Amino acid sequence: MKNLKTSQLLWLVLFSFLTISLTAQSANIIVKQNGVIVTNNGATAADPSAVFDVSSSNKGVIFPKLSTAQRDLISTPAEGLLIYNTTKKVYEFFDGTQWRELAIPIPQTVVNAPSGLVATVTGSTSIDLSWTDNAIDETGFGIQRKLVSESSWTQVATVGADATAYTDDNGGAGLSPATAYSYRIQSLPNTAADGLSAEVNATTLSVFTSTWVTSNTGESGNDQIKLPLESTGTYNFTIDWGDGNTSTITAYNQAEVTHTYAAAGTYTVNIAGTLIGWQFDNVGDKDKITSISNWGDLRLGNNGRYFRGASNLVITATDQLDLTGTTDFSFAFAGCGSLTSFPDMDTGGVTTFYFAWFQCSSLTAFPNLDVSSGTNFDSAWRSCSSLTSFPQFDFQAGEIFDATWLYCSGLQSFPAIQTPNATSMSYAWGGCSGLTSFPLIDTSNVTNFSRAWDGCSGLTSFPQLVTSAGTSFVSTWENCTSLTSFPVLNMGAMTNGTMCFLNTDIGTASYSALLTQINADNSNTNVTFHGGNATYNTSAASDRSALITNGWTITDGGAQQ
């Protein structure tokens, strides 16, 4: 024993210990120069790569079991020291600095799907995607996209492992503006139906596209344009000026609202983002804007006069103008003399159409807009002299129709509109010299008929309107030179008939019957009434005399000869 080396002695001690402790378990311990094997399954030698080999077909190996508190009492643990932590229920090893859990990855047959997918619109042609990576052995992620209206998905891009974001701009070509897209992310590798995130939708911003000619008359210089933004507006948009330059606008008065080009010319301007508030009001660069091909996300605001005075403007846009929050259409397109047609738009929330299309003298037709909420149509289509017909609008909420179609001399016909709440029709169809007839409309609540049909020189007949509420008939049918007959209207509330039929001859029979009816219905005194050039017959002479006795001043063609 004295000649044994220290290592041999240690092996002998270990062998003796194991022999004693394992004899009762029928295990064998074999010590050889190349290693030690503890076995109960007949193995005779340790694996050549192992200094210590435990071999069994029905048993395992138990390492020292220590709680966290017990583990921490180990003084100066060696690097690589291994224990089973009974507190955490995990194996731990000491890495030379701290205790670490011995984690063994479990291979995944299906790579975990990402979660928390968010799609953020960043403009008219791009969408940002972000998600949470839940996989531990993915090779990458597939970006799948489709139109919301479609059912088939297309993988449009892939990103590497551990990626959590992607910007989709269609490979640099740009997504389509104002288009709704669906997205989902798939962890790779996976089969077609595995590893997919939930779907999310996002719609790219729409672009407000307009064309400008810098050299046209305007407030800005010959090589400039200035946007007509309002102090009360809300702005956060990106503008492509059409010359390779872009700006971000967040305030109505920032310097970038005016843009200077390298040379005067014609430029197409694209705006994407929040743009609420747009008003030329017959000033500024109103004559420089020449066309609108897409309304985009433009919102006019609610101060009226939006394109007033834009004399060179034509509109080819086929998308809908967003009129959210707009109830006031006062002077909206007044003075847009180059418009030959007008686009359909949802005006159902607009209440005021005061002078809306005043002096749009090139308009030849008009769409059937929703004006059902409108109450004030004063001068709405005044001086639209090229209009030849007019739609059957729902005017039932309308109250004010003063000068609504004044000087629409091209009108050849007019629909039987419903106007049960109308109270004033002063000048309504004045100067509509192309009308040869007039429909039966509801005028039962109208009090002011002053000059309503003044200058309708083409009218040859007139309907039996309800005029019993009318008080003012000043020049109502003045210069209706083609009228040769007239119905017996109830003018019992009339207080002023000055120049009522001036330069008009409705014929003896019609005028006589009208005088008789007025005398029967009207008890007002001191009324001035002009019967035009018509004469009265003997049967109406007494009625006329009775009115004069009541203080009336009557001018007409005199007694029939």
Using CB atoms within 10 A of its CB, is residue 545 exposed (0-12), middle (13-18) or buried (19+)? middle
Cβ atoms within 10 A of the Cβ of 291, count?
A: 18
The pLDDT tens digits for 39-69 are: 877 777 777 887 777 788 888 888 899 999 9
Task: State both tokens at 336.
Answer: 């847009």
Residue 281 φ/ψ region, left for φ over 0, alpha for ψ in the -120 to 50 degree band, beta for the rest: left
The residues pairing with 201 across neighbouring beta strands, listed in sequence order, are: 182
- Max Cα distance, the chain (Å): 169
Looking at residue 542, the DSSP 8-state letter turns out to be H
Looking at residue 289, the DSSP 8-state letter turns out to be E
pLDDT at 42: 76
pLDDT at 13: 38
Cβ atoms within 10 A of the Cβ of 351, count?
A: 15
For residue 381, CA distances in Å to 72, 315, 362, 391, 509 come to 91, 18, 12, 12, 36
Looking at residue 284, the DSSP 8-state letter turns out to be T
Distance CA(408)–CA(404), nearest Å, equals: 9
Q: Chunk the chain into consecutive blocks of 10 residues (it has 561) and report each block's average pLDDT, rounded to whole numbers.
A: 40 42 56 72 76 80 91 91 88 90 63 93 89 90 95 94 94 88 93 88 92 98 98 96 95 97 97 96 98 95 98 95 97 98 96 98 96 98 97 97 98 96 98 96 97 97 97 98 95 98 97 97 97 97 97 97 86
Rg (CA), the chain: 46
Closest CA to 421 of 479, 492, 372, 364: 372
Q: Write the secondary structure of 44-76 as one string of H (helix), E (strand) and C (coil).
A: CCCCCCCCEEEECCCCCCCCCEECHHHHCCCCC
pLDDT at 61: 84
pLDDT at 287: 98
Beta-sheet strands, E only, within 214-317: 224-226, 234-240, 246-249, 258-260, 266-276, 289-294, 298-299, 314-315
Distance CA(245)–CA(506), nearest Å, equals: 68
Q: Kind and range of the H or E element at 10? A: helix 6-22
pLDDT at 109: 58
Task: State both tokens at 198.
Answer: 């939930």
pLDDT at 33: 65
Task: State both tokens at 470.
Answer: 């009318």
User: Which residues, at least 6 apart from 389, have a Cβ–Cβ distance to it below 8 Å?
Assistant: 365, 411, 412, 413
* Domains in the chain with CATH codes: 6-101 (no CATH), 115-203 (2.60.40.10), 207-305 (no CATH)
Cβ–Cβ < 8 Å for 527, 506: no
Cβ–Cβ < 8 Å for 238, 246: yes
pLDDT at 176: 86
